[in-house]
Chains A and B, each alone.
Chain A
Amino acid sequence: MANLYGTPEWEKAYREMVGQRLSVVSPPYIMGSPEWVATYEKLIRESGEYKEAAKGWEGKVVIRVTANPALGLDEDSFQLLDLWHGECRFALLVPRAVGEQADYILSGELERWEAVISGALDVTKAMMQGKIKLKGDLATIVRYVRASTLLTEIASRIPTKQLSQLSSEEREQFREELRALKAEFGF
């Protein structure tokens, strides 16, 4: 890893990488790619409705997508949302060791998350059915049901290309990109 997560150098390099990718990649973005996560960050920040619903929320949320090598995801992916009183301080892809320490972790298989993002699966139903597992203080989450629902709604507005929709060439390319990102950023 070129830089260590948590250092200003890491964050600077990450932001530059995202900026560079956004300048060359056109939407729709592959779900879970750095440009997809950056767009998610932007949309959360723009949502007045979310700001209102998440007033008082404190805590980092991780969306953990479990590996699915057949679809191009060789390792678990951790998308960290640092949410604070209605603000999205940042949304980043992070290394496993960081992601596993988050206050709240929502874990699910890639197919489940694809269904959630496409609107085919309600995230609350998915949690009740055990299709998406929740780790974190339940009492707090229950108080912010509206904010949680809005986060899903916002994610569904991102122009998204699902991994399951990629051609084999696209999938291999994405796999290679992830390997390169892991070497540089640790995720």
Chain B
Amino acid sequence: MGGYCGKLLLVNLGTKKIETLPLRDDLTRKYLGGSGIGARLLFELLGKSIAAVDPLAPENPLVFMTGPFSGTMLPSTPRMTVNALSPLTGIWGEANVGGRLSSQLKFAGWDGVIFLGAADSPVYLHITDHETSLLSAVDLWGQETYQATDLLQERHRVGSRKPAVAVIGPAGENGVLYASIAHNKGHHFGRTGLGAVMGSKRLKGLVVSGTGKVSIGDPEGYRKVRQRLSEKMKESLAVQLFRLYGTNCGIDIGHLSGDVPLKNWQSGEWEAGINALNGPAFDKILTGRASCYACPVDCKRVVEVKDGPWRMPAGPGPEYETITSFGTMCLIPDAAAIAKINERCNQLGLDTISCGCTIAFAIDCYAKGLITQDRTGGLELSWGKPEAVLRLVEMIAARQGFGDELSLGSQRLAERLGGEAGKYVAAVKKMELPMHDPRAYHGLGLAYATAVRGACHVSGVSLGVEQGNMLLEELGLDGSYGGQTSTGKAKLVALSQDYGMAFSTAAVVCILGGMVYDERDFVDSLCCITGREWTLEEVMRCGRRIWTLKRAINLLRGSRPEDDCLPELVQNPLAEGGAAGSVVDMELMLKEFYKLRTLDWEGYPAQEEMIALGLEDVSLALAETRRR
């Protein structure tokens, strides 16, 4: 079958034993790849212990998975996922990344790597076409990600060909609950804190070099689909915009529509700040553009700050989520300062969304008198102070002083603070909201509340559909939705989740690609890459199965219906801006959503639904949990 190498690496870090596992046919057919297969593997590997395993214990499996398109030349497909129980949320965790890691892994002959156990001293995994070995990382432990990446690429380069590297920084080593995994410096498995899981296993990184090829099931069909998609990419305004200003291209219009969060979600207008943080503002420090493997978009930025307090050499520039997490959330109208903060987060290995939002929450609490200098160790927190934010970033990665409390994320910090603090947190299932305001797009509120990894806007594609940037007309998602209404959104969100689970988390197509691929392109791509027949109905069932499985994992971990909620902070109407006065009707949407998903009052999917999806064993596990 095309698209897959047909095998997985199983690495036991405790015993140092490395084995080959066949990639079972039922896994590819039912779960496609990426975090679809990752979730199934995690469920099988943990078995009955799934409810009790500490995410930072050796028993938590860490699964790196590619998708069927990884390593092909289809546009927007060079992504892969990492999966484990999340130390930040305590439930299902996943993050994905672009770059070159997925293609290198496939070229070396592997669909994925499963890490079990924990090493007794730091190690990294080196994978080539011919061998796989665990090597000592004692000399790398403590190093920041850029330094470790440079060293490993130099150590394992073959001629001019550098390997793909994924490493953790001090944040992951120190167990920051939102530590990221950095791939080739600028690409990050950002969300859900799986860098801390790597740290708990004393696994510094992966170094991968492959020279093989991915087999294509139907080469002629592949040629035609590639050609079609290539033409669409050339025509697409979204692609042109992303090339021009990167993922930050929509910040101006986002601000107008009320989509961009400001001042810890409590302000609706900041024109001067947006003008200081938009595409043209970053053009002043832009020195180049970069792309992921085989992607024609070039959305990655290379920036350099030549002088002033935020001086930094040419390196990866901030994405939209980072620009807003630190820029608009902390009210820092300074592109160079944000570039510097981004550089330090990259080097230390921190998820910029959780980090920026936790700091914004702390500043807000400080301004409201809920945090004092006794707690911060004398550090004064206030809006618009990049020096203090940068200091906090360093303290978080080192878990030093107040940074130790911040390293737990905003939800846990609020619980420690008690009192009114909980009112100013914007997190779902303990994960901070990404940088899109549900008051501008109500369906997004439901998507956040019901996303399987905590607040997430990319595992389903509802935001793109609501914004009108994605058209899935065969599914009845025709781009004609108004943002600030809750009516009809439950169906939109459920369909978008099913599609997104298959498209962006299992086949691991870049969410930007979703603005170009329609559902026919996706199904045709699957058919020609795998050489199997796929229908849209099967794809949607596959997505629904994956969503249901991940939700079941969360239920087994103790998740409850009350966790399917939107924080009060983003339910309060704003007084000004594009979403002024808008209030999300969560009760209506959740009621409709539960019905569509066959969820009962305890949030469990109906047994018939699970059997119809081929999840009989998962259904049995849930039934046992309920009996207890």
| Chain A interface residues toward B at CB < 8 A | 120-122, 124-130, 134, 138-139, 142-143, 145-146, 149
Contact = CB atoms under 8 A, between A and B. Distances in A.
Interface in B448-486: 467-469, 471, 479-480
Interface in B599-613: none
Contact-residue size bin, chain B (C-beta under 8 Å from the other chain)? 20 to 34
Given A134-B237, A145-B253, A128 B244 contact: no
A145 B479 CA distance: 20
A187 B308 CA distance: 56
Contacts of B238: 128
Interface string B220-262: 0000000000000001111011001100010011001000000
A149 B257 CA distance: 11
B235 A130 contact: yes
B252 A143 contact: yes
Contact of A142 (B244, B467, B468): B244
A146 B256 contact: yes
A134 B544 CA distance: 37
Contacts of A128: 237-238, 467-469, 515
7 contacts: A125-B479, A129-B468, A129-B471, A130-B235, A130-B237, A138-B240, A143-B280
B403 interface: no
A142 B252 contact: yes
B418 to A, nearest CB: 42
Contacts of B237: 127-128, 130, 134, 138
Given A138-B240, A142-B278, A149-B256, 6 more contacts: A124-B468, A128-B237, A128-B515, A130-B237, A134-B237, A142-B249
B256 A142 contact: no
Q: Report the 6 A-B pairs with minimum CB-CB distance, sorted nearest first.
A: A125-B468, A145-B252, A145-B253, A128-B469, A127-B237, A138-B244
Contact of B479 (A129, A138, A149): A129
Contact of A139 (B235, B244, B480): B244
A129 B280 CA distance: 24
Nearest to A134: B237
B468 A122 contact: yes
Interface in B124-170: none
A123 B238 CA distance: 14
A120 B468 CA distance: 12
Contact of B279 (A120, A124, A127, A142): A142
A122 B279 CA distance: 22
A145 B279 CA distance: 12
Contacts of A146: 252, 256
In the complex, which of the residues B236, B245, B468 has the most CB atoms of chain A within 10 Å of its own CB atom?
B468
Contacts of B480: 120-121
B341 to A, nearest CB: 24
In the complex, which of the residues B244, B249, B479, B515 has the most CB atoms of chain A within 10 Å of its own CB atom?
B479
Nearest to B249: A142
B520 to A, nearest CB: 15
A142 B279 CA distance: 8
Query: Main secondary structure on chain B at its contact with chain A?
Result: helix
A135 B280 CA distance: 19
A139 B280 contact: yes
A187 to B, nearest CB: 27
A138 B241 contact: yes
A127 B479 CA distance: 12
B388 to A, nearest CB: 31
Nearest to B516: A130
B125 to A, nearest CB: 41
B256 A130 contact: no
Nearest to B238: A128
Contacts of B240: 138
Interface string B181-201: 000000000000000000000
Contacts of A122: 468
A122 to B, nearest CB: 6
B208 to A, nearest CB: 36
Contact of B245 (A121, A127, A142): A142
Contacts of B235: 130
A120 B469 CA distance: 16
Contacts of B241: 138, 142
A170 B238 CA distance: 40
B279 A139 contact: yes
A120 to B, nearest CB: 8
A125 B469 contact: yes
A146 to B, nearest CB: 6
B234 to A, nearest CB: 11
A154 to B, nearest CB: 15
A125 B253 CA distance: 11
A130 B253 contact: no
Contacts of B280: 139, 142-143
In the complex, which of the residues B235, B240, B480 has the most CB atoms of chain A within 10 Å of its own CB atom?
B480
Nearest to B243: A138
A2 to B, nearest CB: 39
Interface in B243-292: 244-245, 249, 252-253, 256, 278-280
A130 B245 CA distance: 19
A143 B479 CA distance: 24
Contacts of B278: 142-143
B49 to A, nearest CB: 47
A142 B274 CA distance: 13
B279 A125 contact: no
A130 B236 contact: yes
A45 B479 CA distance: 32
B231 to A, nearest CB: 12
A108 to B, nearest CB: 13
B459 to A, nearest CB: 21
Contacts of A129: 468-469, 471, 479
Contacts of A142: 241, 244-245, 249, 252, 278-280
B241 to A, nearest CB: 7
Contacts of B515: 128
A124 B244 contact: no
A124 B256 CA distance: 12
A145 B238 CA distance: 15
A142 to B, nearest CB: 6
B479 A124 contact: no
Contacts of A134: 237
A121 B480 CA distance: 7
A128 B468 CA distance: 7
Interface string B39-59: 000000000000000000000
Nearest to A148: B253
